[in-house]
Amino acid sequence: MRYTGRISSILIVMVIQTSYVIYYFHRDGFVDIVGWLAYPVLLLISYWTGFQYDKANYFSERDPLTNLFNRRFMIRRFNKYIKIADSKKKKLFVLLIDCNGFKQINDEYGHAAGDQVLVKIGKVLNRKRRNVFGSARWGGDEFIVLGFCDDAEELMCIQLKFKRELNGIRVTEGGSSIAVSIGSALQDGTFGETNIHELLQLADASMYREKRGF
């Protein structure tokens, strides 16, 4: 969670209250006790107000179940990520991840069990990784990962690593492991010629080719 709201509200209150103190000091030659006691009270109020803003901003970018970023956030950040990858002389990649047989998990063990699977997937995808910008719940049991790499060979290694980690997740009620299908797409050309929807279409086609073999 960022501190933008808290820092901004505290600074605004400090400037206003300090201006008030300076004004009355120059006018009267002193500042009464109320002027000084107002500082801690106003700081507490401004911190709480800023915290509410930061919390609202945080949850506007997150999926409430998995704590991953949401679709809106990733679309908004895409151009920034692709510029960062370009500055590193790397290519941006997209992984599209789908949990195989997720409907069957819900039908057999209940939606609470399905939600637990999604939460566990979220924990795996939320781990900090050197070459990953961020992960998001794209919708239902689909997730995306945006990151950077050198070439298709490195992307394949990244994809296989994610698959090993995710396929180790177990359904709490049944004890069986889940299986995922992962499609991938790699930036081709300069960042100005790439958009997230093109990469997602390629990743989606790649994922369904793998899913047909599941």
Q: Which residues are catalytic?
A: 141
Query: For the chain, what is the radius of gyration of the CA atoms?
Result: 24
User: Which 8-state DSSP code applies to residue 192?
Assistant: G
Paired with 97 in beta bridges are 143, 182
**Alpha-carbon distances, residue 50 vs 13, 44, 136, 192 (angstroms):** 11, 10, 26, 36
DSSP H stretches of helix in 33-167: 33-60, 71-87, 102-109, 111-125, 152-167
Side-chain half-sphere CA neighbours of 211 within 13 A:
19
